[in-house]
């Protein structure tokens, strides 16, 4: 496993995505995945207040499963727990929930479900562009001041908004955003193809900012829903409808033969190569692995130590 420094600790460059734990992914399977991930040296768990919710405002089965696992294994101090809050209303994503009441309610429920006194990284799950970045930072800094959160993150925020927020934080001695979480993979994607204009996907403009500032990124959907693995293995018919809508484009199809050739040259699976593409970037980058099957998690972790050269990254891109 490769790691990247993060303040007084280090983050494994493959995080475990814990969405659907206790819901679509049964608790028994989720606990087994956590064990496998931990045994491979992983220490970063990615969850959210809404993961595993059966209804709006209900409990997060994902956070509950993580809390149970951390408590039974007595390894909370060995793990970095990242969760998210203030997700917009699911029935109307334009209705933001970044406000004092919802922020405090979400973090307190997360702490209760995770069975911990504080979380290592807490993200705003989405931005609310109708609010000033200064107002949001002033509000979020309270979580750090109260000891409920160690570090603040921005999930699905543009770098322009992150920079606005952090400039205000620096000027006014508030807690800044220190990490970002956006959609990023070897496959090109946009909020339009994803069907959610509240998402942020990596592009050349965003990448240039992250590299310039050496700013850490956690990348969700790093496998593009198995696009390259399935196409290389001749299993296009098993691609989900969502994968087709989001990733099955001429631009991405052109990458397939290069991904196949390099994975064969290096003797790794396409899945492992896709993860290494991210973990070998110039700025600190963490790929979030998530799957309903333990075998896929193991396959992904097979490339946990793999590093690509700049020319190999350029070849794939």
pLDDT digits (tens, 9 = 90+) for 177-208: 999 999 999 999 999 999 999 999 999 999 99
Tell me the sheet residues that pair with 288.
15
pLDDT of residue 92: 84
Q: Is residue 315 part of a domain?
A: no
Q: Is residue 271 part of a domain?
A: no
Q: Is residue 41 part of a domain?
A: yes
Residue 61's domain is classified under what CATH number? 3.20.20.100
Give the 3-state secondary structure of the chain.
CCEEEECCEEEECEEEECCCECCCECHHHHHHHHHHHHHCCCCEEECCCCCCCCCCCCCCHHHHHHHHHHHHHCCHHHCEEEEEECCCECCECCCCCCCHHHHHHHHHHHHHHHCCCCEEEEEECCCCCCCCHHHHHHHHHHHHHCCCEEEEEEECCCHHHHHHHHHHHHHHCCCCEEEEEEECCCCCCCHHHHCCCCCCECCHHHHHHHHHHCCCEEEECCCHHHHHHHHHCCCHHHCCHHHHHHHCCHHHHCCHHHHHHHHHHHCCCHHHHHHHHHHCCCCCEEEEECCCCHHHHHHHHCCCCCCCCHHHHHHHC
Per-residue pLDDT band for 145 (boundaries 50, 70, 90) equals very high
Residues 6+ apart with CB under 8 A from 41: 1, 12, 304
CA distances from 270 to 217, 266, 297 (A): 22, 10, 13
Q: Is residue 288 part of a domain?
A: yes
CA distance 194 to 209: 23
Q: What are the φ/ψ torsions at residue 83 (nearest 5 degrees)?
A: -135, 175
Averaged pLDDT for residues 57-68 = 95
pLDDT of residue 248: 93
Per-residue pLDDT band for 303 (boundaries 50, 70, 90) equals confident
The whole model's pTM is what?
0.94
For residues 312 and 262, is the Cβ–Cβ distance under 8 A?
A: yes
Q: Is residue 242 part of a domain?
A: no
Averaged pLDDT for residues 109-131 = 97
pLDDT of residue 166: 99
Per-residue pLDDT band for 91 (boundaries 50, 70, 90) equals confident
Q: Is residue 106 part of a domain?
A: yes
Q: How many CB atoms lie within 10 A of CB 250?
A: 6
Nearest 5°: the CA angle 164, 169, 172 is 125
Residues 6+ apart with CB under 8 A from 173: none
> Is 302 a residue whose pLDDT tops 80?
no
Which tokens go with 306?
């793999």
Q: How far, in whole angstroms, is CA 156 from its chain's centroid?
A: 10
Q: Is residue 249 part of a domain?
A: no
Q: What total of structural domains would you count in the chain?
A: 1
Q: Find the domain containing 130 and state its range.
A: 3-224+278-308
Could you tell me which of 34, 15, 8, 24 has the C-alpha nearest to residue 61?
24
Residues 6+ apart with CB under 8 A from 123: 48, 82, 83, 84, 85, 152, 153, 154, 155, 181
Mean pLDDT over the full length of the chain:
95
Q: Is residue 293 part of a domain?
A: yes
């Amino acid at each position: 496993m490769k790691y990247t420094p993060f303040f007084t600790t280090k983050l494994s460059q493959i995080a475990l995505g814990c969405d659907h734990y206790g819901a679509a992914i049964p608790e028994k399977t989720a606990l087994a995945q956590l064990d496998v991930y931990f045994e491979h040296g992983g220490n970063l768990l990615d969850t959210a207040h809404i993961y595993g919710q059966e209804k709006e405002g209900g409990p997060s089965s994902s956070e509950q499963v993580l809390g149970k696992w951390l408590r039974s294994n007595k390894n909370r101090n060995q793990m970095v727990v990242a969760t998210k809050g203030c997700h917009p209303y699911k029935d109307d994503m334009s209705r933001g929930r970044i406000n004092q009441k919802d922020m405090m309610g979400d973090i307190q429920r997360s702490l209760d479900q995770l069975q911990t006194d504080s979380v290592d990284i807490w993200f705003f799950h989405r931005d609310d562009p109708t609010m000033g970045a200064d107002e949001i930072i002033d509000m979020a800094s309270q979580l750090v001041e109260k000891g409920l959160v160690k570090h603040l993150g921005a999930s699905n925020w543009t770098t322009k908004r992150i920079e606005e927020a952090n400039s205000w934080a620096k000027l006014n001695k508030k807690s800044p955003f220190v990490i970002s979480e956006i959609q990023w993979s070897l496959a090109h994607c946009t909020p339009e193809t994803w069907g959610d204009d509240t998402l942020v996907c990596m592009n050349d403009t965003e990448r240039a900012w992250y590299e310039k500032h050496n700013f850490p990124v956690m990348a969700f959907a790093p496998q593009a829903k198995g696009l390259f693995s399935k196409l290389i293995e001749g299993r296009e018919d098993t691609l989900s409808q969502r994968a087709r809508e989001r990733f099955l484009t001429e631009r991405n199809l052109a990458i397939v033969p290069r991904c196949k050739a390099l994975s064969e040259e290096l003797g790794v699976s396409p899945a492992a190569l896709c993860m290494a593409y991210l973990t070998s970037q110039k700025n600190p980058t963490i790929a979030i692995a998530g799957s309903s099957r333990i075998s896929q998690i193991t396959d992904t972790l097979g490339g946990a130590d793999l590093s690509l050269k700049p020319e190999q990254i350029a070849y794939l891109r």
